[in-house]
A and B are shown apart, each in its own frame.
Chain A
Amino acid sequence: MVEIDWVSVLDAIPQNADEPMIERMFVFKLITSLGFTGQEWLQQFNTGKGDADFALRKNYSDDNFLHSRLNPYLLIEVKGQATTGQGNSWNKINLSEGTPQYKSTSQQIKRYLLAPKCKSAQWGIITNSIHIQLFRRHGNVVIPATPCELIKKDNIYEIIARIKNLIDNPPKALTISLYNDKGGVGKTTTTINLASVLFKERKKVLVVDFDAQQRDLTDSLKLNEGEVTLSECLISDEFKIRDAIQTFTIENKSKQIKLFDVIPSDQKLTELTNTFESGGRLHEVIGRSARLRDLLQTFIYEYDYILIDSPPGWTFFSQSCLFAADVVLMPTKHDNFSSLKNVVKVIKELIPETQKARIKKYSEPLPIPLPIFFNEHDHTSASIDRTHLEIKKLITIQSGKNLIHDPDLLPYYYPMYKDGVTNTEIFSISAYKVVASAAFSRVPASVQNKTAYDYYLALAKEYFLHE
């Protein structure tokens, strides 16, 4: 690896340097220190949805990226420290999290990463040499992989080493927690059917039943506890979490077919509800709510998807599920207003609280929410009107003298409502009696029935699979 004297590099960049200057004085060095040679990057790469400033990929023996211009691995979107304003003034570009420029630049890198010519791209960087952030793409999802860091002379080596380590060792899995603070929205049914569909799409899937009270997922798949249980792994390092895995199989033409792996809930998991004062064993869980994330790290280079069935409420169990997740998928019901209202709490309070703790402990600004969907959807035009009225109430806020849609909530209720289009479509899975009755059968509805399969495939495509 080429050693760069970053202190001198930062010292040399003039204040208010413009974009071409940042590219020359900073990004070229960044590319070198990330381990790419001059033959492995292109400028102004056409993603199919705009030009990314840089696209990078290691050369294969028979495929030089400069010539083929195909299959980029990493994109970089560069901004200047400022642009020239009127006269001799400067318009500073502030890329710190939450600023309008940060929002537009992170949207830009997300758009490029999901663009048609970037199906192989896994990483995106935004930087103006003052701030830097790495994003990761998994299928249809783009998540932050590092916090948006303020670059200083005493942290730049650490920041770049971390980015290099991530892009050199890309995790395979996306960890999804299915959560709604309100119960009864079909989390378990969605988890099981989503897992089955992802398996059919040739993905390797691990499902975790972390609902100690209900154990619905473990019970409905008729799984037993493994040699080792999840509760044992939470309180001791002596057991290997891998030994807790049970494979869910079905019989087809007298052959056993393996669908997906499950870490089942176990009888003793409920003991972790309380600490010793109330006769529980929660005080023995190493790292408490961080422990599930630590255990699941074992699998992030092995599975394509890790789905966690989370209980409702805000307890050790649900906190652990959010802390372990990259993304949170929130099933709701259109006629269950509490399930819609709770989403506000999840997005505004519970997820930010979890992110703060996760950044503090592991520098991972996760999880992020995904837009809601209506589960078991069966509506009349009157009932759906009431739902939209309710959502309007939830997401409308006062801004000065005007009422506006809360920009922090709008994309999670109405993801298509943007760029001047008033689209209030919400993805939904129709109510279907096969799905409901399959709750009493061991085999998931999406395995038994083509229509149910199509419903859940549509869900997987909407949220996760990149076509």
Chain B
Amino acid sequence: MSNFDNIGQLMYLPLDKIDSEIEFTESEFILEAAVESVKEVNGRNWIPLIVQEVGNKYKLVSNPFVYAVMHRANLEKVWAIVIDPDPKNIEQAKILSKEITPKINLSTASRSAIEYNHSN
């Protein structure tokens, strides 16, 4: 890996340098409660945002909930991890944060797996 790749680095970045195109909704109650919990630990987000570098800015890849909470808490800087923006890496980050469900192979999947996927 090159010295210029910031991949895997935990960064502390201005929130306004991170754009998001992820559609995300959450109830007011949950957001407010999360803001309070962030404020209780001096505004530090222990679950980082997942971002990719785009030119001289960053783009949110995953953890839109944290992003929304940090905005609502009016925090200027947030902790974020920079990832390699390969589509497979982005998909994996979204799977691990449960933003999307992994695709299953219907020809080999068990009945319960299909039922679970269908209900989600």
How far does the Cβ of A284 sit from chain B's closest Cβ, in whole Å?
A: 5
Q: Is the CB of B13 within 8 A of A284?
A: yes
Interface size class of B (residues with CB under 8 A): 10 to 19
B16: chain A residues at CB < 8 Å are 237
B55: chain A residues at CB < 8 Å are 361-362
10 tightest A-B CB contacts, nearest first: A357-B4, A294-B56, A284-B12, A283-B11, A283-B12, A288-B6, A287-B56, A289-B4, A357-B2, A319-B3
* Residues of chain A whose beta carbon lies under 8 Å from any beta carbon of chain B: 236-237, 275-276, 281, 283-284, 286-291, 294, 314, 319, 323, 353-354, 356-358, 361-362
B9: chain A residues at CB < 8 Å are 275, 283, 288
Name the residue among B3, B14, B53 with the largest chain A CB count within 10 angstroms.
Answer: B3
Q: Is the CB of B13 within 8 A of A319?
A: no
B96 at the binding interface (Cβ < 8 Å): no
Main secondary structure of the interface of A (DSSP, over half): helix
Q: Known: A294-B56, A361-B55, A362-B55. Contact between A286 and B4, CB under 8 A?
A: no
Q: Is the CB of A357 within 8 A of B5?
A: yes
B17: chain A residues at CB < 8 Å are 237, 286
Q: Which of B8-25 contact A (CB under 8 A)?
A: 9-14, 16-17
CA distance A286 to B14 in the complex (A): 8
A354: chain B residues at CB < 8 Å are 4
B13: chain A residues at CB < 8 Å are 284, 286
Q: Is the CB of B10 within 8 A of A283?
A: yes
What are 21 A-B contacts with C-beta separation under 8 Å?
A237-B16, A275-B10, A276-B12, A283-B9, A283-B10, A283-B12, A284-B13, A284-B77, A286-B56, A287-B6, A289-B4, A290-B4, A291-B56, A294-B56, A319-B3, A319-B4, A353-B2, A353-B4, A356-B4, A361-B53, A362-B55
Q: Closest chain B residue to A288 by CB distance?
A: B6
Q: Is the CB of A323 within 8 A of B4?
A: yes
A319: chain B residues at CB < 8 Å are 3-4
CA distance A353 to B2 in the complex (A): 7
Q: Known: A237-B17, A361-B55, A362-B55. Contact between A284 and B3, CB under 8 A?
A: no
Interface flags, B58-82, vs A, CB<8A=1, else 0: 0000000000000000000100000
CA distance A158 to B55 in the complex (A): 17
Q: Closest chain B residue to A358 by CB distance?
A: B4
How far does the Cβ of A152 sit from chain B's closest Cβ, in whole Å?
A: 21
CA distance A284 to B6 in the complex (A): 12
Q: Closest chain A residue to B4 by CB distance?
A: A357
CA distance A287 to B11 in the complex (A): 9
CA distance A288 to B16 in the complex (A): 17
Task: With A287-B53, A289-B4, A357-B4 given, name 7 new contacts (CB 8 A).
Answer: A283-B10, A284-B13, A287-B6, A288-B9, A291-B56, A361-B55, A362-B55
Q: Closest chain B residue to A362 by CB distance?
A: B55
A236: chain B residues at CB < 8 Å are 14
A288: chain B residues at CB < 8 Å are 4, 6, 9
How far does the Cβ of A273 sit from chain B's closest Cβ, in whole Å?
A: 15
CA distance A309 to B83 in the complex (A): 32
Q: Is the CB of A290 within 8 A of B11?
A: no
B3: chain A residues at CB < 8 Å are 289, 314, 319, 353, 357
A357: chain B residues at CB < 8 Å are 2-5
Residue in contact with A284 in the complex, picked from B2, B5, B11, B56, CB distance below 8 Å: B11
